[in-house]
Chain A
Amino acid sequence: MSRRSFHAVSSLGQEILLVVVILALFAFVGAVNPRFVSENNLTSIFVGNAYIAVAAIGMSLVIVSGNIDVSIGALIGVLAVISGLLVTSGYPIWVAWLAPLLIGSAINALVGCLIAFARVPSIIATLAMLSILSGGLITFTGGRWISGLPAGYQLAQFRLLGVPSPVWFMVGMTIVAALLMRYTAFGRSVYAVGSNPEAARASGISPSSVVVRVFAIHGAIAGVAAVLFATQLQVIQSTTPVGLELVIITASVVGGVSILGGVGTVVGSTLAAILFAAIGSSLIFLNVSAYWLRAVQGVLILATVLADMARRRRTG
């Protein structure tokens, strides 16, 4: 069996495992408290968290390419505020929806250049971006919320065929990204750069340009996530959601993206994001304090990473 097809099989295993765990969780918590599986709660789980699943798609690309981005939460916060400021200062709604994609892509392309050409490690470049973006956001907005959003702006509240739009975005973008990663030359080059940059270079791929493109795509996807985040409610918080980057990274890693790069799929990360949203909601329905949520996430990411390392050592 070739190395590639082995990875496909092993990550498929992770995806099936996630589906089983999600179903088991819904069955268990639903049995304890039937309101957990009511349509209302299911909708709120998906609508409230789809933007995390969307952002995790881009994060998976970044981690597969052998990098990491800890500034994603701050970037989503900044892009959401930009979108809100544009629409409240009179720009057409479609501009407020599209601008975050372009700006996010431009910012992250710059970060990608720092990593690829100036050889700044991704952890340092994105830690610095985290501090620049989150500090800049609070300094600029003074922590004020943006209100007075016009009617028709709330993209995340739309429904198509009875299904909320964030769910369409989550499913649609996961499918497109999965196909892109699996069947295009670009997708294969991301895996190649992540598993062995030298070998990739030897086979005619430019690792630098792949990294810059991955970050640019990641930034655009963050823009979509930011619009879904900004249009959920009638106001936009102008502070960065605390710890959002960790939730997104955790979704990618628990979804089967190897922390060492080169392995993983976006389907897994979307499933893991759904699992996290369900866990967060089930804590409430099981009467466990929500303050334990981050500890639960920490244990999950640690367990997955250790399992990933053990699996790697077994398969060599």
Chain B
Amino acid sequence: MTRILIRHEAILGILFAVALFVMAAQSDRFLTTANLLNQARLMTEVGLIAIPMTFVIVTGGIDLSVGSILGLCAILVGVFWQNAGLPLPAAIGLSLLAGTAAGFANGLIITRFRVPPLIATLATLALYRGLAEGISQARSVRGYPEWFAVLGRGEFLGIPTQLWLFALVALAGIFLLRFTAFGRTTYAIGNSEAAAEFSGLPVERTKLLIYTASGFVSALAAIVFVSRVSTTRSDMGNGIELEVITAVVLGGTSIFGGRGMVIGTLIGLCLMQILQNGLSLSGVRGDGTTVVIGAVLIVAVLISNILGRFSND
């Protein structure tokens, strides 16, 4: 199994190098520090959510509600700050709390009521987005103070601020999945939930924690998003779940669970961002890149299925 994993990541690494080379040859604006750092900045929101999503998919689950949680938390920051008159840090704290609660609710529905994650989070996708629309009444909030923009548009030691946050979350993800009992339980659930339960592993608690973390990190992504564009709208993060899932699956995590690594997700993310950046530099508009991402998702799953079939032989 490890050999297959390494092979998948080696293939990704080669693809990544080829993409870098092609893009650099096509446009001399691509391989500049400014462009690369800016691309990393744009990648952060999807990247943040992709870390807990890797855990979710490794357990054999899925979380479709992340984009709606992002939208809801973005709206709540604006509502708590502007309409309720709270100081901005308190509004941010409450919004993070709300995102965590939303993720916890997902986890409860999935573990206690045994609703399949796909349907549970499809329902909460509608519910959380509906709450965002209902609470905001389609009004946007603007005029955030200058200091708040530091997170989304500022720099720290020459590197975009949110990249430090992303690095922190990614390192925590790598450590948890790779080196802890929690990570081993995550793989065990994905390989066989029944077997994990019979061996006395805390299946329910682990899943509950993972979906809660997914909600919390989605809220974190919302804060970064709001700070970057310094406005909140109820349609923020619409469809972001697709990009997140594509990055995770592209990174070699099996959609059937039990297999995957955070490092792979990081490579998948970079590959997708390079693809988007390259397409837009060569004149393809934003909606055109959606088409490419959809196609890449199908091809990634197909390749992973074919590799998986060989490993069974």
Contacts and interface: CB of A to CB of B under 8 A. Distances in A.
10 contacts: A119-B305, A120-B298, A125-B298, A127-B245, A131-B239, A132-B295, A139-B291, A249-B122, A250-B126, A291-B136
Contact of B130 (A125, A129, A298): A298
B297 A124 contact: yes
Say whether chain A's binding surface is mostly helix, strand, loop, or mixed.
helix
A92 interface: no
Interface residues of A, number: 46
A176 B263 CA distance: 52
Contacts of B295: 128, 132
A29 interface: no
B290 A131 contact: yes
A246 B113 CA distance: 21
Interface string A239-259: 000110010011001000001
B115 A309 contact: yes
B119 interface: yes
Nearest to A296: B130
A239 B93 CA distance: 37
Contacts of A299: 127
Nearest to B306: A118
Contacts of B301: 120-121, 124-125
Interface residues of B, number: 46
Interface string B231-259: 00000001100100110010000011000
Contact of B291 (A68, A135, A306, A313): A135
A131 B129 contact: no
Interface stretch (B28-36, B39-47, B165-173, B281-289): B281-289
B122 A291 contact: no
A178 to B, nearest CB: 24
Nearest to A122: B118
A243 B127 CA distance: 12
Contacts of B115: 259, 305-306, 309
Contacts of A310: 113
B302 interface: yes
B126 A294 contact: yes
| 4 closest Cβ pairs, A-B complex | A298-B127, A295-B130, A135-B290, A294-B130
